[in-house]
């Protein structure tokens, strides 16, 4: 190779190295510029006032950036479990945010939020709305509508159940009246139809009375003008009201009032509440069994418990037995004449008196319902 060729090779190598170095420097500058821009975007502040408003919201509110990173969340959003690891914990909410980002306008939808994989009672129904704030941020608002949806369902069920429960005995009464008319010349059949007619009429009367009772306990506040009520008197009156039914099934009712106690409220309502518990115990206990009614003081509460040896209540039904018209065994309830309103009435009365009703039950071993009420404070004694 000649000296001239070697010189050109060196010059070309130097030129290539210079060009490559210039390209690397340029690319480095571009990368640095983009990194600085990305850092500037990432550190861009939420618009003035938005962060303060979100922090003060009573409902759930979340602000996310372009990558769905949560920049600010209200206490309610945290409590509902909408945020996890600085991101949205629910895929439907993330989809709603993306829809608002794509359309550039507010988007709304109902979202189901499952807070537990194992308990359907933890399913929450949210009314969610996502709207853009500026070019980068999305504001997500969510209101918990679970109670409203549940109450609406209860209302629909109540109307449907009342219609059904009234339709059954009314239809039976109509058919039996026709049957009696058709069998006018057959005394034995007339007598049988008349007996059945009395049963259906009694069922219709019981349902009507319990609807009236439920309406009264929901409308009246027994603590507006309370009276001092002796718990042992309530126990005696409740038991007397079911004594005939218990004797017909040879069921022995025993009482044990450990402590004399006084509560504030309406005596007739309290008798109704306890009567429903004792009547249920007698109704669903086998013949020749035993029902126990006991009262005792527990701190500032008096606890009146009704224990039976019936079939018991499964855990799946335990939370629902206080719902209107709910029956663990609908077929058996119709045979025994139950309306499905008694426990609901008892719960309303307990709550209106500042108390509660608790249930312990085990299938095959019976149930214990406990009415817990606050004890009345002693009356002030006047000076001598």
Nearest Cα residue to 272 out of 352, 323, 217, 208: 217
148-219 CATH: 1.10.287.130
In the structure, what pLDDT confidence band is assigned to residue 314 with cuts at 50, 70 and 90?
confident
Tell me the C-alpha distance between 273 and 210, whole Å: 12
pTM score: 0.53
Tell me the C-alpha distance between 359 and 357, whole Å: 7
Burial class (CB in 10 A: 0-12, 13-18, 19+), 12: exposed
Distances (CA, A) of 32 to 26, 43, 117, 236, 272: 10, 16, 46, 88, 80
Q: Torsions phi, psi of 252, nearest 5?
A: -90, 130
Distances (CA, A) of 122 to 147, 150, 318: 12, 13, 16
Residue given tokens 């039950």 in the structure block:
361
Element (H or E) spanning 253, and its range?
strand 252-257
pLDDT value at residue 28: 57
Tell me the C-alpha distance between 269 and 373, whole Å: 13
In the structure, what pLDDT confidence band is assigned to residue 32 with cuts at 50, 70 and 90?
very low
Residue 307 has pLDDT above 60, yes or no: yes
In the structure, what pLDDT confidence band is assigned to residue 115 with cuts at 50, 70 and 90?
low
Please check whether residue 294 is in contact with residue 259, taking contact to mean a CB–CB distance below 8 angstroms.
no
Q: How many other CB atoms are there within 10 angstroms of residue 315's CB atom?
A: 9
Please check whether residue 361 is in contact with residue 201, taking contact to mean a CB–CB distance below 8 angstroms.
no
Tell me the C-alpha distance between 155 and 163, whole Å: 12
Query: Is 222-377 the same fold as 60-144?
Result: no
Distances (CA, A) of 35 to 22, 23, 28, 65, 66: 20, 18, 10, 18, 16
Q: Which two tokens stand for residue 30?
A: 């571009």
Tell me the C-alpha distance between 128 and 133, whole Å: 16
Mean pLDDT, rounded, for 92-116: 88
**Domain spans of the chain, in order of start:** 1-34, 60-144, 148-219, 222-377
Contacts 24+ apart (CB under 8 A), 148-151: 149/125
Tell me the C-alpha distance between 161 and 308, whole Å: 28
Query: Which ranges of the chain would DSSP assign to H, the alpha helix?
Result: 3-42, 50-56, 75-80, 91-103, 146-182, 187-219, 231-240, 243-248, 267-283, 315-318, 330-336, 342-352
Q: How many other CB atoms are there within 10 angstroms of residue 221's CB atom?
A: 13
Pick the CATH number of 222-377 from 1.10.3720.10, 3.40.30.10, 3.30.565.10, 2.30.330.10: 3.30.565.10
For residue 353, the 8-state DSSP code is: T
Tell me the C-alpha distance between 218 and 76, whole Å: 31
pLDDT digits (tens, 9 = 90+) for 178-229: 888 888 888 888 888 888 888 778 777 777 777 777 766 666 667 777 899 9
- Rg of the chain in Å (alpha carbons): 36
pLDDT digits (tens, 9 = 90+) for 46-74: 666 777 777 777 788 999 998 889 988 88
Pick the CATH number of 60-144 from 3.90.1200.10, 3.30.200.20, 3.30.450.20, 2.60.40.2300: 3.30.450.20
Cβ-proximal residues to 333 (8 Å cutoff; 6+ apart), any chain: 327, 340
- Please provide the average confidence, as pLDDT, over all residues in the chain: 79
Tell me the C-alpha distance between 340 and 161, whole Å: 10
């Amino acid at each position: 190779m000649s000296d001239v060729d070697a010189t050109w090779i060196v010059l070309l190598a130097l030129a290539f190295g210079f060009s490559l170095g210039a390209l690397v420097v340029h690319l480095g500058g571009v990368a640095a510029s983009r990194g600085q821009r990305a850092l500037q975007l990432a550190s861009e502040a939420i618009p003035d006032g938005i962060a303060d408003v979100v922090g003060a919201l009573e409902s759930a509110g979340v602000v996310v950036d372009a990558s769905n990173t949560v920049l600010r969340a209200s206490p309610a959003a945290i409590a509902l479990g909408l945020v996890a690891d600085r991101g949205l914990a629910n895929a439907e909410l993330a989809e709603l945010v993306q829809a608002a980002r794509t359309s550039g306008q507010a988007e709304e939808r109902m979202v189901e939020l499952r807070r537990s994989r194992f308990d359907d009672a933890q399913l929450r129904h949210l009314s969610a709305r996502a709207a853009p704030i500026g070019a980068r941020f999305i504001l997500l608002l969510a209101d918990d509508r679970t109670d409203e949806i549940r109450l609406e369902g209860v209302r629909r069920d109540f109307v449907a159940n009342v219609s059904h429960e009234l339709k059954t005995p009314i239809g039976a009464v109509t058919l039996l009246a026709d049957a009696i008319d058709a069998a006018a010349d057959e005394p034995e059949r007339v007598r049988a139809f008349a007996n059945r007619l009395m049963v259906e009429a009694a069922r219709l009367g019981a349902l009507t009375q319990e609807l009236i009772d439920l309406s009264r306990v929901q409308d009246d506040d027994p603590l507006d003008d309370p009276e001092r009520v002796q718990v042992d008197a309530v126990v005696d009156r409740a038991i007397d009201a079911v004594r005939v039914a218990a004797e017909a099934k040879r069921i022995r009712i025993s009482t044990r009032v450990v402590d004399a106690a006084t509560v504030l409220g309406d005596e007739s309502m309290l008798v109704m509440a306890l009567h429903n518990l004792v009547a249920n115990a007698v109704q669903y206990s086998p013949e020749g069994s035993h029902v126990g009614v006991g009262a005792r003081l527990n701190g500032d509460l008096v606890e009146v418990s009704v224990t039976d040896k019936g079939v018991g209540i499964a855990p799946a039904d335990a939370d629902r037995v206080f719902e209107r018209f709910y029956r663990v065994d609908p077929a058996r309830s119709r045979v025994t004449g139950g309306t499905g309103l008694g426990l609901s009435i008892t719960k309303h009365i307990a709550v209106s008196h500042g108390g509660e009703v608790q249930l312990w039950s085990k299938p095959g071993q019976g149930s214990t319902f406990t009415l817990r009420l606050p004890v009345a404070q002693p009356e002030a004694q006047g000076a001598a």
